[in-house]
Structure 1
């Protein structure tokens, strides 16, 4: 990374956990040139700052590239997969069953 870090940037440890959970580059066509860590850093910045896509700082990848990855991962279930995998890891580290047996929805026990 050749830019100054933002508070929302992934640490090396966080990146090591997330990197294997991301989908691989599609086969055929041009090889991927976009750094997925920078894509995630841009998305986390955007979510924390609450800014519009077009207002992402210029030291991140182009806003349209970031948006395209975000929407693609939303459509193919990558965000759901990341959430599930990370939740399971946290629950296992806490000595709990990886799958929750109850949930709280709108302050109601289910």
Structure 2
């Protein structure tokens, strides 16, 4: 009888695609005021401590700018800013008026 090879232990590594999605959602909703982590937890269907860990990982991997002690919010990190000319790491159409005359 041959024993199965043990699998990797602990949490699987966070995918860059997930951190990119989180960073874009963070940037899109950060201006809505307090409760950002709660809103993201609902959006991603994960507990708030998990979202805080993901935000920290997004900052570490360059999807969000570094935190400023005592201040809320972030800017796109260098990995989001590299998405394309003029994108600034924002989702398509973010921050722009939509429709005629807006």
- Whether the TM-score (by the shorter chain) exceeds 0.5 is no
Structure showing greater radius of gyration is: 2
TM-score (norm 1): 0.35
More helix by share: 1
